[in-house]
Each structure stands twice: as structure tokens, then as C-alpha cells.
Amino acid sequence: MPELPEVEVSRLGITPHIEGKTITKIIVRNPNLRWLVPADVNKAEGLVLKRVVRRAKYLLLETDLGSIILHLGMTGKLRVIDKSVPVIKHDHFDIEFENGVVLRFNDSRRFGACLWQPKGEVHELLQKLGPEPLTEAFHDTHLFEQSRNKQVAIKNFIMDNHVVVGVGNIYANESLFKAGISPKRAAGKVSKQRYQSLTQYIKQTLQAAIKQGGTTLKDFVQSDGNPGYFAQELLVYGRGGQPCVQCGTKLDEVKIGQRTTVYCKQCQK
């Protein structure tokens, strides 16, 4: 599943081609995605796309009347292409612009979404989200205070979108390894000092992923058709059974919250 860096890379890739352009037509070929595509998205026709912003793993295409909300789901891909490019299987909708390009959404598993958020309102999917990890609103004090008396494993804690958004499985594994914290440790048992370190590593890990183009996942490619490259630098995720890059100990692979978790028993306490 595309994580926050992949979504941010998609935003960076499509923005120069469509921001500030008038939406001339919206074509919905298959409204049966994760949620039914509402007819209200057609309200954006004839309006200028003011901004493309990201909130958690959602992209918001803002206009004067409201925003089209896009979510990539598990296999969703966005392309900015000429409107003459033939439609292929699983091309579920197009957003056409005055400059002759379309933002085309392809999703083989149809877990993605295209929704509408009226201006001045916040869609229910976005209402209870925690702070963005790359902003000043996300800091060690926030994590520490939110974690008090919590017995949940810290890996699940930092992946909770009510606590902080966008720290998916891959980056939770990586950040906890860099901070030397066992993913099994209870969130409430982690000190303020260790949360300070973890916060910094979460930010650094996500920023590095965005800079390098997002993690290479099976079904993700950038808007220009090139895969991301950050997977080549992963320290623990996907390396279960291999030696730890720091101490050489065999990395453990377990399930925490039904998610694959890889860590070093020697380096992470």
C-alpha cells in the first residue's frame, strides 16, 4: 500500500501540470471504488484547481466550491497524460484540464477513492486525524503525553492515525530501529527522552523517502512512470532473518497488529 512518502511524491509529481488550471470535464467510468464516487465531484467542472494539498494519505484538489479528495488505496495510480492517450483496463476516472491533459486514476483492486468535500467543511474521513509528522505540530511532547498509561505496542501506537498520520508499516519499522526501541515495548513505558529521539527519526525517515522518490512497492510508480528508489536503503523492513546492519545479529520477523515487523533484539530494547 502506498504510504505517506508515495502520496507526497504523487502530489509533487502532478502539481506542476494541473495547479492553476481550469477543470473542463470530469469523466467517471466506474463509480464503484472503495466508496461510491459521488455526483458532487462534477461541481468542480469549470473551476480553477487552486491547490493540490496532502492530508495524511489523502490528496485534496482544492477549488472555490470545495475539494476533490483522492485516496490511492492499495493499488491506485495517478497519471498526468494527454487526453488522447487510450483508456486501459482499470482507468476509473479522468479529471480533464484546459491545457489538454488529464489526471487519470487507475486502480486494479478498487480500494482507492474519489470523494467530495464542500468548501468550509471537513470530510468525516479527515475529522479525527492526528498531526502531520513533518510539521511543528508533531513533537516529542505530543507523543509522550498521548502515550501515558497506554499498554499498546509502540509500533501500533505510532501507526495510529489519531496519534500521528502517515507513519505506515515500513517507516514505523525503520524509525523504531534507528531509535533503538523495541516495537513490542508498551507505548506508556517509553521515556520522554526516547520519544524525542523517535520523533526526530520519524521525520528524518519520511523526509529521506520523499526526497528519494518514495519506497519501491509492487504496485506503485511515480506520476512520470518511474519507480521510487528508497527501498534500496531500508535497514530492517523486508530483511527478516538477515544480519543487523549495526551488530550482525539475525533480525527477527514477527507479527504485531497483523503487520509484518522486523527488528533487532540486540539493538532495540
| Whole-angstrom distance, CA of residue 162 vs CA of residue 155 | 14
Candidates 184, 185, 239, 259; catalytic one? 259
E strand or H helix at 141, and its extent? helix 140-147
Is 3 in the active site? yes
CB contact set of 211 (below 8 Å; sequence gap of 6+) = none
Closest CA to 70 of 84, 80, 83: 80
Q: Which of 219, 197, 166 is nearest to 57 (CA)?
A: 166
Which member of 43, 57, 155, 178 is catalytic?
Answer: 57
Quick one: DSSP state of residue 22?
Answer: B
Rounded Cα distance between 215 and 50, Å, is 28
Residue 210 and residue 8 in contact, taking contact as beta carbons nearer than 8 Å: yes
Q: CA-to-CA distance for 179 and 177, rounded, in angstroms?
A: 5
Q: Which of 2, 5, 133, 183 is catalytic?
A: 2
As given in the structure block, the three cell numbers for residue 69 are 479528495
Report the binding-site residues. Answer: 90, 109, 150
Going through 90-229 in order, the beta strands assigned E by DSSP cover: 91-97, 101-107, 113-118
Percent of residues in the chain assigned helix, strand, coil, to nearest 5: 30, 25, 45
2 is catalytic: yes
State the binding site for DNA. 90, 109, 150
How many Å apart are CA 61 and CA 76, to the nearest integer? 16
Q: Which residues have a catalytic role annotated?
A: 2-3, 57, 259
